[in-house]
Amino acid sequence: MPRLRRVAFRVSAVFLGVVIALAASEAVLRVVVHSQATEPKQMAVDVSKTEEGMSRAHLPATPSLGNELYIGFLGDSFTYGLGVAEDKAFPKRTEMLLNQRWPRRCVVINLGVPGEDAIREWCVYDLIKDKARFDVVVQVLSPNDNDVDLYKDMYEMQEAAKRRVWISRYSLVAEVVEQSVRENILRYRMVDYMCGGATSEARERTWRILSYSIGATKRLVESDGAVYALARFPFLPTSGWSRLDEVHDRTAEMARGLGVPFLDLREAFDGNAREELHLPEEDHPSETGHARAAEALADFLISRILPNVSSSASRGARRIRSQEEVVRGIVAYYEGVLRLDPTCRSAALSLLQYRKDRPANGAGS
User: How far apart, in Å, do the first and last CA atoms of the chain sit?
Assistant: 92
Q: Where are the domains of the chain?
A: 51-148+197-315, 152-195, 323-357
Residues 6+ apart with CB under 8 A from 232: 140, 141, 145, 247, 248, 251, 262, 263, 264, 265
The predicted pLDDT at position 167 comes to: 65
Under a CB-based contact definition with an 8 Å cutoff, are residues 73 and 98 in contact? Answer: no
The CATH fold assigned to 51-148+197-315 is Rossmann fold (3.40.50)
pLDDT at 304: 97
Continuous H helices in the chain:
2-37, 47-50, 77-80, 90-101, 121-128, 152-162, 172-195, 200-222, 242-258, 274-277, 287-300, 323-340, 345-357
Are the CB atoms for 298 and 101 separated by under 8 Å? yes
pLDDT score of 161 = 75
Q: Check residue 349 and give its pLDDT.
A: 94
- pLDDT tens profile 1-21: 565 555 444 444 434 344 434
- The list of the chain residues with pLDDT below 50 reads 7-53, 360-365
The confidence score (pLDDT) of residue 22 equals 40
What pLDDT does 120 receive?
Answer: 96
pLDDT of amino acid 1? 58
